[in-house]
A and B are shown apart, each in its own frame.
Chain A
Amino acid sequence: MTHFSRRQILTGAAAAASSFALPHLASAQSAAGRVVVIGGGFGGATAARYIRLFSPNTEVTLIERDPSYITCPFSNYVLGGFRQLEDITHRRDPLQQRYGVKILRGEASAVDTTAKRVRLKNGTQVNYDRLVVAPGIELNYAGVPGWSEQAANTVMPHAWKAGPQTLLLRKQLEAMTDGGTVIVAPPANPFRCPPGPYERVSMIAWYLKNKKPKSKILVLDAKDAFSKQGLFMAGWESQYPGMITWIAGKDGGKVESVDPKGMTITGGFGKEKGAVINVIPPQTAGRIAIDAGLAEANGWCAIDPASFASRKARDVYVLGDASIAGAMPKSGTAANSQAKVVAANVVSSLRGAAAPATVFHNTCYSLVTPDYGISVTGTYRPGPQGVAEVPNSGGVSPAQANAAQRKSEAEHTEGWYAGIIADTFG
């Protein structure tokens, strides 16, 4: 007993602490341990914060590449012209200052799930007792023939990660002449933010209606159906009559290739020229999840639906867009909800206690105009086939609603955004 690893010391001390404490305090006091979180978005930041709220003795290190967080939610309103990028840019400082999360700026480049260690690009190594992986998505530039990262950064932006890409797409909308065609090409399922492309179409339409009303929008979709389809299409019909054409995959909407030089896009529909072309490519789990061996052949990470523990590695949890979450969409609210379940499971496992029952929530609000909101919401529990929606609950806004009701949902869209920012970053 002369040489102790840090892990052995931790285990020993935890056992010692619980044997001296009163029984009902023991579980609250003995959950120490080191947790590393990769990724400080809605999923990772919420997990870091709630682990500290559930167990202030647990050391939490959040590894994050970017200095601040620019949200994908509300980035469509930058395109619509009624939000600025600054409005959707958030600092993570409260996590450190108010909740004691250690923030390590850098990019996680490798995970050794046997030695339980994360390596950063700059060479720093961090050991963990439990690892939470929340890397979001990786865009598959090769998934659209003719397209490339270089094309995305110059003429055919994706704007599916908010920031410079959002501004590039906005600039192109501002530069186009009235009467041009904007082409939006959403991918097949699964992808980040299922209603996102259609809210984007709505927000581009809002801008065009006010500034360039002779222009058109063509949606070339890989899918035959999409999130909140009935509500979106009714909204387009009433708010932007004649402006938007949506072509389903089965009707030739699936894109086969693009030509960034000629600004054309080709598929079953033929060849179309766009004044602006927004390619939303196929996606996978963030690169680090794949490099760490956590992903399946399809590029997404299989998890236990009750805990979001990885199916591939012990003491590792994968949540948010990167995970295969069954009936739950890849959304910020879903990631925030999964993060609380992961935090509870991480803390319970460090305590050697059973985890509480799992329940998840999701809400996705979308705007058709700044005063016309629609929503989809769901409650989910783990089931034999993965995460499943609770029967006879959830669903979308009513098809029939008056202007005041649509406006009320637009106001709650704002309320939701303020809430999730506060609940994620503190």
Chain B
Amino acid sequence: MRIRFYALAATCLLAAGPVSAQQRIAVLDDTALAAQTCNVCHGSGSYISPTMPPIHGADANAIYGALIDFKTDKRPYTIMGRIARGYSDAQLKALADYLSKN
């Protein structure tokens, strides 16, 4: 039993190799999962979009302010207004806080 346990631990270490601590999404809660939807356009990690602003690590108030402006059509035309209207203000606030820290 002991030998088998160590063999398994070694397998796990091998599998764990390439995903760096920085890339890893450590906490998996409602906000963390919702925030991953943004990555399809805005990217994550070191990715920089040719047309869309980076949001991971940006200022939480700036993100939240922009989302509310989009939601209320103060910043019209892009798809962001249509997307922001899919969330409550509290959800947008939580997303802005998460993105600023991750």
A interface list, Cβ under 8 A from B: 1, 4, 9-10, 13, 16, 28, 32, 50, 52-54, 56-59, 97-100, 333, 336-337, 340-341, 344, 347-348, 356-361, 363, 375, 377-379, 390, 392-395, 398, 401, 405, 408-409, 411-412, 414-416, 418-420, 422-423
Contacts and interface: CB of A to CB of B under 8 A. Distances in A.
B52 to A, nearest CB: 5
A358 B37 CA distance: 11
Q: How many B residues touch the partner, as a band? A: 35 or more
A419 B87 contact: no
Contacts of B41: 363, 412, 415-416, 419-420
B4 A414 contact: no
B86 A379 contact: yes
Contact of A57 (B15, B28, B29, B49): B15
Per DSSP, chain B at the interface is loop
B30 A59 contact: no
A393 B83 contact: yes
22 contacts: A28-B26, A32-B8, A50-B25, A50-B36, A53-B24, A56-B19, A58-B15, A59-B15, A98-B23, A100-B16, A340-B36, A341-B33, A358-B33, A363-B79, A378-B86, A398-B77, A408-B78, A412-B51, A415-B41, A415-B50, A415-B51, A423-B47
Contacts of A358: 33
Interface in B8-23: 8-9, 11-12, 15-19, 23
A395 B30 contact: no
Contacts of B19: 52-53, 56, 98-100
Contacts of A16: 5
B77 A405 contact: yes
Nearest to A95: B18
Given A13-B8, A408-B77, A356 B33 contact: yes
Nearest to A401: B77
A418 B37 CA distance: 15
A13 B18 CA distance: 22
B61 interface: no
A375 B78 CA distance: 9
A356 B30 contact: yes
Nearest to A413: B51
Given A59-B15, A416-B41, 4 more contacts: A32-B8, A408-B78, A415-B41, A415-B51
B44 interface: yes
B43 interface: yes
B17 A100 contact: yes
Q: Lowest 9 CB-CB distances: which A-B pairs, in order? A: A379-B86, A415-B51, A393-B86, A393-B85, A100-B18, A361-B37, A56-B19, A357-B30, A390-B86
Contact of A9 (B4, B16, B43, B50): B4
Interface centre among B8, B17, B24 (most CB of A within 10 A): B8
Nearest to B91: A359
Contacts of A422: 43, 47
B28 A54 contact: yes
A411 B16 contact: no
Nearest to A32: B12
Given A57-B15, A356-B32, A379 B83 contact: yes
Given A347-B28, A419-B42, A414 B85 contact: no
A53 B95 CA distance: 19
Contacts of A411: 51
A393 B87 CA distance: 8
Nearest to B18: A100
